[in-house]
Structure 1
Amino acid sequence: MNPTDDHDDKTITDTTPQTPAVGPAGELATVHHLPGRPEGGPAIEGEIVSEEEWRLYTDQQAQRAWRYAEYRRQGALVVKATRTAVTHDKTVATAKFAGRHAAYVFGGAGIVAKRVWEAKTNSRYERLIRAAEARGDAEELKHWEERAELAKEKRHRRAMDWLDAPVQIAKTLLLSVLVAIVVLFGIGCLLALSFSDVAMIGAPFGAVIDVVRWVTIAISVAWGPFLLAAPWIGLAALHHIGRRAETTPGWLARADGGGMDASTLLTADGIIAALRHLGIPAMNKAIKEGWTPRFELNPTREGTAPFKGYRAIVDLPMGVAPTMVADRREVLAKNLNRNPVEVWASDYGREKGGKAGYLNLYVADSGVMDKPTPPYPLLHEGSTDVFAGVPIGITQRGDVVSIPIAGSNAVFGGQPGQGKSNAVRVMVLGVALDPLAEIRVHVFAMNGDFDAYEPRLSRYEKGATTEHVESALDHLESLYAEVGRREGRLAELGAKKLTRAIAQQHEDMRPLLVAFSECHELFGHGEFGKQAAELAVNIVKRGRKTGVSTVYDTQSSRADAIPSQLVENVGANGCFAVKTWRSNDGFLGDGSFAAGIRATELRFNVDRGTMVATGMTDELFEIVRTFFVEVDDDRGWDAAADVIARAMAQLKPGTPVAGARPAQALETARDLLEDVADVLGDDEKAKATDVVARLRQLAPSYRPYQGLNADKLASQLGELGVKVTKVGVLTVFTERVRKALADRDADA
């Protein structure tokens, strides 16, 4: 109730005697009778009010105080409601949306203005000259000064050309009109002759006039809408330029960043600030002396949703090497609001076309490493070409990585359970989808990683036994011989290397991939490991052009588990999570850790299936998340089985598959005395080295003879009673061998 209603300007007259109302408990209240109705009559309704309320009816000052209090109360409500509306999430998001897109337009306009200004003046060169002076780079300073002078000269020539332009334009127009008239007149004459009508001479001129008229009409119709649309088209273009350059300030960023939160945004200023707080003394000193970083590449957005990030290339001051920044990667990641695994700093000078002293920095968006890897792209359809590579995974930018097969070899390493075997499975599965390729697999463990692949494998052996190691060594020897045969075959064909066209025409030249899984059991074998390592290295060195490729995976980087020469000579290396720099360099090659190529930054189990890879792209290295071919051990199900079935259906006739290349039966025992007597024949004597060579030819599949040399032969013959005398060189005498045989037979 508003006490001022109907009473502000009235004089209240009360003619009724004011008699206190008395009840059983005594006096209850003083009754003030409201003014009576002018026409008289009984009161219809009444209300008991307090003294204070009555004063509000009768006292003007009290009424004013009440009104002001009510104004304050209602004003507070309005302020509260306004504050609530203004600070509401939707209001803030809407305001940021409007401000952000307005900032894009202004930012785009600034970029265009800067481009125009730099194109019309020497400001760009002056900026680069100042940067070169600040760095003390005399050679680059001279280069930009020369470029600046050249630009001035070109602008001067263009300005002078404009002085002659009107005359040249007039001459050109006049000549064009005369030529057009002559051409049209010629066409008219031809028409007149064809139709025997002199009037046809003017037909081409009439046609041109009609065209001009219709063009004029079209322009007049379109001109109005174009003028209306032109400003909006210009604004849209500026908006696009500003948005691509991300000119909006960070406080206007969306909460979800449009796929980007505040911690995802990365600017040149942010990188400079992060570098300043790395705690590198030489950099701190340079900054205090006024050093300003120069960006060869400003922070540029890379990748495809949802795998995006920024790449920047920035120079470093004197006394600071890129490896020093890489050593502080954990601090750098903290300064950039990232996990260490999302920040990769490397030496740009080691890359193709790179510059020494520059840092190549890639910063992935926050949380990229936690997003799931897409399904294997060839799981349900498709085929491959090993000469173009097969898909193995994606980069942090979401780009599919194809690992080279033909003309390359590969090594995968890392701690147990981090994805080495899966990487080989994915690689072999891709090769299986090439109708021409032959595949052989050795698994030096009793696991079923490749059981589902068996129908497609021309040779498949598994187990960590000495017999398997010996069989694999025999296989390596035959592979080395196959490389030699293929080299001769290519020479016959007049080709320098195997191509797909040659492989399609000649069945004996099909691309071949041989996988050695858990190869530390092979190379670490006490008796056959060294020989196997030498053969593997030689096959990698010579087999590249012949279409013979190999792949190895192991959990140990020791020299007796994976030969260092093998690691250095393969084309593609992949290292999953490891603990030490020695293991890192053992799988990726010496000097990798120092260059910032570090799998030690991968988190054990957290980054399972992620490897630091070299040789798979043009980059110095990549962080590759391998595709996963699903396996259910409880049900004995392997998703690769369906892919293998599809691969079998599309094979080219004659491609070797299961059973085509059975392991050769190895001889387990031979009589050395009888074999020596046999190879000596009618010779009176022979050099021990010649006897060894003859023994290998006599029994090429007998392993003890393949590892034999002159000293070992002399020792073994000595144990059998045959003395090998050194006559310049160790020499085996036939008479002594036959006597030893006769004595043995007599004793028997």
Structure 2
Amino acid sequence: MNPTDQDDENTTTDTTGPAPAAGSAGELATVHHLPERDTAKRGSVVKGEIVTPEEWALLTDQKAQQAWRYAQYRKQGAAVVKYTRTAVTHDKTVASAKFAGRHAAYVFGGAGIVAKRAWEAKTNSRYERLIRAAEASGNAEDLKHWEERAELAKEKRHRRAMDWLDAPIKVGKALLLGVLVSIVVLFGIGCLLAISFSDFSMIGAPFGVVADVTRWVAIAVSVAWGPFLLAAPWIGVAALHHIGRRAEATPGWLTRTGAGTDASTLVTADGIVAALRHLGIPAMNKALKDGWLPRFELNPTREGSGAFKGYRAIVDLPMGVTPTMVADRGDVLAKNLNRNAVEVWATDHGRERGGKAGYLNLYVADSGVMDKPTPDYPLLHEGSTDVFAGVPIGITQRGDVVSIPINGSNAVFGGQPGQGKSNAVRVMVLGVSLDPLAEIRVHVFAMNGDFDAYEPRLANYEKGATTEHVESALAHLEDLYAEVGRREGRLAELGAKKLTRAISEAHEDMRPLFVGFSECHELFGHAEHGKRAADLAVNIVKRGRKTGISTVYDTQSSRADAIPSQLVENVGANGCFAVKTWRSNDGFLGDGSFAAGIRATELRFNVDRGTMVATGMSDELFEIVRTFFVEVDDDRGWDAAADVIARAMAQLKPGTPVAGTRPVRELETGRDLLEDVAEVLADEDKAKATDVVARLRQLAPTHPAYRAEKLNADKLAAQLGELGVKVTKVGVLMVYTERVRKALAERPADA
């Protein structure tokens, strides 16, 4: 119905009266009446909306309705899955789940640890494991040791088991005896009370007191017993949780990575495998692709103390992969473990004592350990040392103090300039100075003041890079070599194989002697005297070990003319600070060190100043040692060592040589060859020229002209010929005494 339509009643008009004439002025217009509608045929108004065929089908078709319901179910299910996944994978949900799982794992891990300890305490499993390791490494000495320990443990367990058989009888006897003694004691006390109070009934008073105490104890136990039984399981769970947490007995995927924990500090077996997987070693990649899985001889284990901690793991490698190959990729390995290269050390476990061939020994320090300050020198304010036990020189990455051996050992320190070599020697000498028995001598082949504060304690102190100093040091080496021989004879007289502290204390001529040669490249590199000095130094190191004569050398160069290779190979302790090349590395640490993963090339120049790669200072194949720093203020001329030296001087044993107690050596500037030859020939008619040369060296061991590089049989014959003495060759060159004396007699008086 059109809303403009009106009701019929409203459209009717009055038709009575004459109609006005059309068109006349003032008249109305003609009215035309519309036809009337048949109200009987009119229907009611219908209200609705237009729908699509699909909507109409939903209203009328049951199959369409069923399909719509299924679609709604799927949509709602997808929404539930989506929101559930979002909730489950949310950081807070994951952290909470890991927290709960981790602490639950601590309990089970602690239970496993306790069970393992109990099992090992009751069986020989621990010794069997160690025996297998000794067999695998081929170490017969360790194998014998652990077999003996295993038999001893079996015997002890057997004795304990037999003791249990007698235990009931012994316990019963002890209880019976205890009861009888208690009754007698209580009766005695009662008698004393009865006498004191004149009351016979007081005899039973002690028994009444004991009965009351027993009753109250029983009441207390009965009251506490219930809560204790309820709390006992939880106490046990807490104890297991504590043990597991301390051992970090939890799977790697449960480790904390949320706020408050640095994920880079965590090292897990899975993390190590992932790091190895991405090293880019083809043989490793192929093995992993073929299904090889590494076996851990030692799972990542926490090591260290205080702020200096890290993880150690020992893992096998697949066929075709050596520990050296992994060490060669050390920078990549460190990156994969979120560390600096200097914080990750991969070495050949097979080269260690008791180690397994083909296994990788991996140490991963906590991130930032190398940047933490080294503790103060432990003997800075108090204490003394014993050179027979070693002296402290620094700490490892684990925070353990390292003692460098002195008696029976020698040392070489090398590295780039300014990286801490001289400080290492300073710390070493400072430790030796605190032994009241030790004699110390120092040569510094530079005009620096590194050891000026030490001078009062030094029996001999020379410095400078002059030829005169080189000659003096060479003479000193000659003396040391002769002293080695003297001490060997002295030890033979005493019936001893090596010098001990007891011998040193009993015999003043057998004190420990420590000699330092700083910047020794100036000595060994000297054109005229370097070779002789090197030969003497090597021989002293080889022979002096048992005589109490120890030496230390530091240098900037690893060239053969700066530090003899035999010297590096024969010293007991080697320390290498930051170097650039593997040649320098092996020049200071010994051939093959770089290939074995012992690499000072990983140390950062200037950043790791004072840190060295050291061998021979512990039972480990090598250590990363951060040397203690003895503070020096060049502006004020202050040296912290001065106070230590003053304390050392105050505790010296009488007779220990210090500054001013030994005469300064006067170098021989010239000798008369003819007179010396006549002296060594003595009453002999003739002697071989080679024998004469040897006797001349014995006569004047420090005279430069008689040294091996200066004098031999042919040179002696030539020099004697120039002096008018003919040396005749009779199979060998022979020197005749008569000819020498004749030349002396005919020589002008002013010659």
TM-score by length of 2: 0.74
Cα pair 1:188 1:202 within 8 Å, conserved: no
Cα pair 1:106 1:242 within 8 Å, conserved: no
Mapping of 1:295-334 within 5 angstroms?
295-334=296-335
Given the superposition, is the C-alpha separation of residues 307 and 173 from structure 1 closer, same or farther in structure 2, using an over 3 Å criterion? Answer: closer
1:732 aligns with 2:735: yes
1:253 aligns with 2:257: yes
Structure 1 stretches lacking a partner, 5+ long: 1-86, 122-137, 141-164
1:565 aligns with 2:563: no
Given the superposition, is the C-alpha separation of residues 277 and 200 from structure 1 closer, same or farther in structure 2, using an over 3 Å criterion? Answer: farther
Aligned to 2:438: 437
1:606 aligns with 2:607: yes
1:106 aligns with 2:104: yes
Aligned to 1:722: 725
Cα pair 1:99 1:252 within 8 Å, conserved: no
Secondary structure of 1:549 counterpart: strand
Given the superposition, is the C-alpha separation of residues 711 and 330 from structure 1 closer, same or farther in structure 2, using an over 3 Å criterion? Answer: same
Give the total of aligned pairs.
Answer: 614
Larger Rg: 2
1:244 aligns with 2:242: no
Cα pair 1:185 1:201 within 8 Å, conserved: no
Distance in 2, matches of 1:565 and 1:169, equals: 62
How far has the Cα of 1:608 moved from its partner?
1.0
In the alignment, residue 432 of structure 1 is paired with which amino acid? Answer: S
Distance in 2, matches of 1:596 and 1:304, equals: 24
Aligned to 1:226: 228
How far has the Cα of 1:229 moved from its partner?
3.8
Distance in 1, matches of 2:524 and 2:268, equals: 49
Secondary structure of 2:264 counterpart: coil
Cα pair 1:187 1:204 within 8 Å, conserved: no
Given the superposition, is the C-alpha separation of residues 403 and 218 from structure 1 closer, same or farther in structure 2, using an over 3 Å criterion? Answer: farther
How far has the Cα of 1:458 moved from its partner?
0.3
Distance in 1, matches of 2:637 and 2:346, equals: 43
Q: What whole-Å deviation, never above 9, does each CA across 1:130-163 have from its counterpart, x for those lacking one?
A: xxxxxxxx999xxxxxxxxxxxxxxxxxxxxxxx
Q: What whole-Å deviation, never above 9, does each CA across 1:427-482 have from its counterpart, x for those lacking one?
A: 00111111111110011111111111100000001111222112111111211222
Q: What whole-Å deviation, never above 9, does each CA across 1:697-720 have from its counterpart, x for those lacking one?
A: 443442322433322211222333
Distance in 2, matches of 1:418 and 1:742, equals: 62
Given the superposition, is the C-alpha separation of residues 280 and 670 from structure 1 closer, same or farther in structure 2, using an over 3 Å criterion? Answer: same
Bigger shift: residues 631-640 or 239-248: 239-248
Cα pair 2:256 2:263 within 8 Å, conserved: no
Aligned to 2:489: 488
Given the superposition, is the C-alpha separation of residues 747 and 333 from structure 1 closer, same or farther in structure 2, using an over 3 Å criterion? Answer: closer
1:350 aligns with 2:351: yes
Q: What whole-Å deviation, never above 9, does each CA across 1:518-555 have from its counterpart, x for those lacking one?
A: 11111222222222222212211222222111101111
Distance in 2, matches of 1:489 and 1:169, equals: 58
Secondary structure of 2:232 counterpart: helix
1:590 aligns with 2:591: yes
How far has the Cα of 1:596 moved from its partner?
0.5
Distance in 2, matches of 1:588 and 1:567, equals: 7
Q: What whole-Å deviation, never above 9, does each CA across 1:457-510 have from its counterpart, x for those lacking one?
A: 000011112221121111112112222222232233333322222222222222
How far has the Cα of 1:362 moved from its partner?
0.2
In the alignment, residue 443 of structure 2 is paired with which amino acid? Answer: H
Secondary structure of 1:263 counterpart: helix
Given the superposition, is the C-alpha separation of residues 485 and 99 from structure 1 closer, same or farther in structure 2, using an over 3 Å criterion? Answer: farther
In the alignment, residue 697 of structure 2 is paired with which amino acid? Answer: R
How far has the Cα of 1:332 moved from its partner?
0.6
Distance in 2, matches of 1:178 and 1:609, equals: 68
In the alignment, residue 106 of structure 1 is paired with which amino acid? Answer: A
Aligned to 1:709: 712
Distance in 1, matches of 2:215 and 2:463, equals: 85
How far has the Cα of 1:186 moved from its partner?
8.8
In the alignment, residue 105 of structure 1 is paired with which amino acid? Answer: H
Secondary structure of 1:428 counterpart: helix
Q: What whole-Å deviation, never above 9, does each CA across 1:59-102 have from its counterpart, x for those lacking one?
A: xxxxxxxxxxxxxxxxxxxxxxxxxxxx9xxx999x99976654
Distance in 2, matches of 1:172 and 1:741, equals: 99
Mapping of 1:67-146 within 5 angstroms?
102-112=100-110
Given the superposition, is the C-alpha separation of residues 550 and 184 from structure 1 closer, same or farther in structure 2, using an over 3 Å criterion? Answer: same
1:680 aligns with 2:681: yes
Distance in 1, matches of 2:436 and 2:165, equals: 67
Mapping of 1:265-664 within 5 angstroms?
265-664=266-665
Distance in 2, matches of 1:517 and 1:361, equals: 34
In the alignment, residue 606 of structure 2 is paired with which amino acid? Answer: N
How far has the Cα of 1:213 moved from its partner?
5.1
Distance in 2, matches of 1:591 and 1:507, equals: 42
Secondary structure of 2:265 counterpart: coil
Cα pair 2:350 2:359 within 8 Å, conserved: yes
Given the superposition, is the C-alpha separation of residues 255 and 540 from structure 1 closer, same or farther in structure 2, using an over 3 Å criterion? Answer: farther
Distance in 2, matches of 1:351 and 1:626, equals: 24
Cα pair 1:185 1:202 within 8 Å, conserved: no
Distance in 1, matches of 2:260 and 2:623, equals: 27
Secondary structure of 2:392 counterpart: strand
Aligned to 2:142: none
In the alignment, residue 360 of structure 2 is paired with which amino acid? Answer: L
Cα pair 1:189 1:201 within 8 Å, conserved: no
Cα pair 2:393 2:402 within 8 Å, conserved: yes
In the alignment, residue 111 of structure 1 is paired with which amino acid? Answer: G
Distance in 1, matches of 2:294 and 2:493, equals: 58
How far has the Cα of 1:722 moved from its partner?
2.7
Given the superposition, is the C-alpha separation of residues 382 and 691 from structure 1 closer, same or farther in structure 2, using an over 3 Å criterion? Answer: same
Cα pair 2:264 2:367 within 8 Å, conserved: yes
How far has the Cα of 1:221 moved from its partner?
4.0
Distance in 2, matches of 1:364 and 1:306, equals: 11
Identity across the alignment (%): 79
Cα pair 2:187 2:204 within 8 Å, conserved: no
Q: What whole-Å deviation, never above 9, does each CA across 1:343-392 have from its counterpart, x for those lacking one?
A: 00001111112111111100011111111111212222222121221111
Bigger shift: residues 384-393 or 500-509: 500-509
Distance in 2, matches of 1:429 and 1:460, equals: 14
How far has the Cα of 1:172 moved from its partner?
8.2
Distance in 2, matches of 1:172 and 1:210, equals: 31
How far has the Cα of 1:187 moved from its partner?
8.2
Aligned to 1:66: none
Structure 2 stretches lacking a partner, 5+ long: 1-86, 120-134, 138-160, 195-200
Given the superposition, is the C-alpha separation of residues 276 and 201 from structure 1 closer, same or farther in structure 2, using an over 3 Å criterion? Answer: farther
Secondary structure of 1:745 counterpart: coil
Given the superposition, is the C-alpha separation of residues 169 and 383 from structure 1 closer, same or farther in structure 2, using an over 3 Å criterion? Answer: closer
Cα pair 2:437 2:512 within 8 Å, conserved: yes
Distance in 2, matches of 1:507 and 1:607, equals: 42
Q: What whole-Å deviation, never above 9, does each CA across 1:545-602 have from its counterpart, x for those lacking one?
A: 2211110111111122211121111111000111111111111111111110011111
Given the superposition, is the C-alpha separation of residues 565 and 103 from structure 1 closer, same or farther in structure 2, using an over 3 Å criterion? Answer: same
In the alignment, residue 721 of structure 2 is paired with which amino acid? Answer: G
What is the CA RMSD across the aligned residues, in angstroms?
Answer: 3.7
Distance in 1, matches of 2:581 and 2:170, equals: 79
Given the superposition, is the C-alpha separation of residues 303 and 729 from structure 1 closer, same or farther in structure 2, using an over 3 Å criterion? Answer: same
Cα pair 1:105 1:235 within 8 Å, conserved: no
How far has the Cα of 1:181 moved from its partner?
5.0
Distance in 1, matches of 2:505 and 2:749, equals: 62
Cα pair 1:609 1:626 within 8 Å, conserved: yes
